[in-house]
Chain A
Amino acid sequence: MSHNEVTASDPGTMIPGSDAVIYPRSSRLRRSLRRSEPVLAIAPFIIYSFLGLGIPAIAVTYYAFQKETGGWSFSNIHFMLTGENHVFLVGFENSIKLGLLSAVIPGILGVFLAYAIQTSNSHILRRLTSTAAGVLANFGGINLTFMFIATLGSGGVLTLWLADIGIKLSNIGFNLFTFSGVLVVYMYFQLPLMVLVVTPALGGLRASWREAAENLGASSWQYWLRIGIPVLLPSILGGMLLLFGSAFAAYATAETLTLGLISLSPIQIGNYLNGNVIAGQTHVGYAIAFGMLVILSITMIFYSLVRKRASKWLR
């Protein structure tokens, strides 16, 4: 983006007093400073993001293609794709499966929950739920693990309640410490995350659209089918892509819940880094990390496409 365009735009949007205070009198210097002002102003953010997000990503990519002894090589990637009886591919498969399931299920439920919160008349209820969503979306790891062991572990509260009414969790194929358990536990932060992400979009549904539809004789169903859902769909899909990324990326919860025994890509990376494997293979961890970055880049491309579409109506 050229800054000429931006600075030459509406002078009314300028920061008040800035030119009088910050810039020297010399008009040429002043002009060149003003031209570079947008760059200078967002430079800290750009540099910070590059150091914190860009550098690690580049480092992971670099090491993924480096031999342990130095020098470029595809051996890490090759080992990741074929070695150890395809255990790493299974890790990716499980991670993607977990990501998809814990994107779609909380994604759909989250929309209903956000709508219910938004249309509720109770002030207190809305404040309680919206702050809770903020806190719970950040909740995870060991704390969450403890809570669910107390709930659905072998002596957990809910396990005992269900046993009282004759339902045995193991009979319906549920085990807290395997894939099904991780999925349920992930819902605890995925659902609030979806509520946070989709709420602004719900706020963008205008009452006039509903009134117009009603005046034209539309039923509630027709309104949602023809107007509500099409307008919201890009935002909902965007939210689900985020949830996919979030579940795909999560490490602490699965690690502490299954003690690192579940085959998920982040856990496998952790095993390589914690030194649980033979020396001289740590770069395989970087190769898995690189694989995850590739999958997440594809997700983010879809996300930005969907996001663009979403901002069409919801302005």
Chain B
Amino acid sequence: MAPLSGSGSVFEVVEAANKVVPTYSTGSAKRRRRVRWWRGVVFLLAGAFFLIPLYAGIKFSLQNTASHFSFQAYENIPSAPGFTAALSLSLKIALVTMVVSTLLMVPTAIYVHIRLPRLRRVLEVVTVLPIVIPPIVLIIGVLGVFPLWAKSSPYLLSFMYVILAMPFVYRSLDAGIGAIDLKTLTEASRSLGGNWSKTMWRVILPNIRPDLLSATVLTLALVFGEYTMAQLDLWQTIPVWIAQFQVSSDGPIQVAASMMGLVGTWVLLLFVVSIDRSQSRRNRKKQGA
């Protein structure tokens, strides 16, 4: 099959390959040690680069105006002017985006895998476009030609966010579908009398659920972080609210909200991935017994 397939979910990709590592290191113990030392340096540098800003942001958000430690900023977020409106707007947009994205991408990805494998490369290139085409170019094009009723609805943002989420959603689904034996599963379902919708709901979807869930969480993260389109479309979503919030005496509310979003998304994704992994492993064990 194609490049992404031999693996598993995007987040589990590493696992399959890791199994072969011991065969690499049948060589000398010296080399193994050197590899480990080299890996330690890489992790140390990367850890410093990624964790120091995170630490700085969190530390800053935990200071009150007099630079003392306090949870004041976090406590003040819910009551900050405009926050609840922005949060409910972002949640609505996120919900619509996740539903539309799933309804659009899951059938397409599955169908292309079963019937049109040759189209996979085309799909791969199309779904990568939203990474490289600037969101600002897309939104000014959309605002230039879309009819007024579409432009006056906040769900225009949902429409565009489905596009922006495509690279991550498609990659995740593609890896997930590639990792299961779709052909055997559908044939088995068919010989047991299952029709197309039953095969989809009972067989395929449960098998790609972890990948679907992580794609959904990444979509959520995208909606809660996207600033360019929301700002130019004049909707005050959470990121726009954070940017436009007037600094007040309530401490670093903006930074607190940012940090909460980032750490919250990560924890949520980690949770989704681990829960689903352990569940599917348990099922596999049960079947094996």
Interface residues of A (CB under 8 A from B): 1, 6, 12-18, 20-22, 37-38, 41-42, 44-45, 48-49, 51-53, 55-60, 63, 109, 112-113, 116-121, 125-128, 130-132, 134-143, 146-148, 150-151, 156-158, 187-188, 191, 193, 196, 199-207, 210-211, 214, 220, 235, 242, 244-246, 248-252, 255-256, 266, 269-270, 273-274, 285-286, 289, 292-293, 296, 299-300, 303-304, 307-308, 310-311, 314-315
Contacts and interface: CB of A to CB of B under 8 A. Distances in A.
Nearest to A44: B104
B142 to A, nearest CB: 5
B168 interface: yes
Contacts of A37: 115
Given A59-B145, A134-B218, A204-B6, A16 B269 contact: no
Given A59-B142, A59-B145, A266-B134, A150 B18 contact: no
A292 to B, nearest CB: 6
Contacts of A156: 56
A242 B116 contact: no
B-side interface mostly: helix
B218 A138 contact: yes
B178 to A, nearest CB: 9
Interface stretch (B75-83, B86-94, B189-197): B189-197
A142 B46 contact: no
B141 interface: yes
Contacts of B6: 203-204, 315
Interface in B30-67: 31, 35, 38-39, 42-43, 46, 49-50, 52-57, 59-60
A210 B25 CA distance: 10
Nearest to A156: B56
A39 to B, nearest CB: 10
B7 to A, nearest CB: 5
Contacts of B194: 16-17
Contacts of B186: 15-16
Contacts of A58: 141
B104 A48 contact: yes
Given A49-B163, A150-B60, A143 B108 contact: no
A6 B261 CA distance: 46
B125 A157 contact: no
Interface string B95-136: 000000000110110011011101101011110111111111
> Which of B6, B14, B118 has most A Cβ within 10 Å?
B14
B57 A249 contact: no
16 contacts: A1-B116, A1-B119, A17-B199, A52-B142, A55-B142, A120-B43, A128-B270, A131-B266, A134-B10, A140-B225, A147-B262, A200-B175, A206-B20, A246-B132, A286-B144, A314-B3
A118 B112 contact: no
Contact of A200 (B13, B52, B104, B214): B13
A314 B159 CA distance: 34
A240 B160 CA distance: 25
B180 interface: no
Contacts, number: 340
Given A17-B193, A269-B136, 16 more contacts: A15-B115, A21-B195, A41-B111, A44-B107, A53-B138, A57-B133, A135-B266, A138-B218, A142-B239, A157-B55, A193-B131, A211-B23, A266-B136, A273-B232, A292-B137, A296-B133
B50 A136 contact: yes
> Which of A58, A191, A196, A203 has most B Cβ within 10 Å?
A203
A-side interface mostly: helix
Given A118-B18, A138-B221, A200-B4, A131 B270 contact: yes
A248 B131 CA distance: 10
B134 A143 contact: no
Contacts of B38: 116
Contacts of A310: 3
A142 B116 contact: no
A231 to B, nearest CB: 11
A17 B196 contact: yes
A270 B23 CA distance: 54
Contact of B56 (A141, A158, A303): A158
Contacts of A200: 3-4, 7, 13, 175
A285 B141 CA distance: 11
Interface in B224-265: 225-228, 231-232, 239, 242-243, 254-255, 258-259, 261-262, 265
